[in-house]
Chains A and B, each alone.
Chain A
Amino acid sequence: DAKTTQPNSMESNEEEPVHLPCNHSTISGTDYIHWYRQLPSQGPEYVIHGLTSNVNNRMASLAIAEDRKSSTLILHRATLRDAAVYYCILRDVGGDTGRRALTFGSGTRLQVQP
């Protein structure tokens, strides 16, 4: 399975944009890029996913590099509630692996300062 690399931690100020990077240099053509986050004392929650084009939803935006070897999760205005561990996960929909469980790394711990 293709792996992802994320910084261990990042800090942001409240109401400012946050850009969370993820490197996935061995990504295959059928790998979707998924982001989940885990707030303190809660289970992970889905944030967003994409394949090639940039994606937007009510929670965040996902910017995918043209060569797909990296991506960035963008929180447009960080709030204190966005403090969480953010996981970048690849899921291959070209075969059976897309049906498998999520493979979590260590993620990026985002701290938001008031």
Chain B
Amino acid sequence: EAGVVQSPRYKIIEKKQPVAFWCNPISGHNTLYWYRQNLGQGPELLIRYENEEAVDDSQLPKDRFSAERLKGVDSTLKIQPAELGDSAVYLCASSFLAGTTDTQYFGPGTRLTVL
């Protein structure tokens, strides 16, 4: 079974440029998460989807970040414009949420460097 797929794996851009990350979750998973991981720290949630609905986006910096999950499958996370502080690893995770909790499966992440 294929795992969570993310692309690109690495991205280097200059500040003020836009950037987008793509995530393909595990087939059948209804919940999708985007996390951001700064160097030396644990991942932190940016946004959580249940099917197509963003049910928790309280940590998403909405002035420059946006996300979408079309048809409840693939998801795209966009930053426009990027700032130096956005340099981090962006992780996508998916799960099948049935009941009160789930096991999350993570992709390898996209390492973003903003110059």
Contacts and interface: CB of A to CB of B under 8 A. Distances in A.
Main secondary structure on B side of the interface with A: loop
- 4 closest A-B pairs by CB: A104-B42, A43-B106, A101-B45, A93-B100
Interface of A: 32, 36, 41-46, 49, 85, 87, 91, 93-94, 98-102, 104-107
Contacts, number: 57
B111 to A, nearest CB: 9
Main secondary structure on A side of the interface with B: loop
A3 to B, nearest CB: 13
Nearest to A96: B100
Given A42-B108, A43-B4, A43-B108, A99 B101 contact: yes
Question: By CB atoms of chain B within 10 A, which of A45, A85, A94 has the most?
Answer: A45
B104 interface: yes
Given A102-B104, A104-B44, 20 more contacts: A42-B108, A42-B109, A43-B4, A43-B93, A43-B107, A43-B108, A45-B105, A46-B104, A46-B105, A49-B103, A93-B99, A98-B100, A99-B97, A100-B56, A101-B33, A101-B35, A101-B45, A102-B43, A104-B41, A105-B42
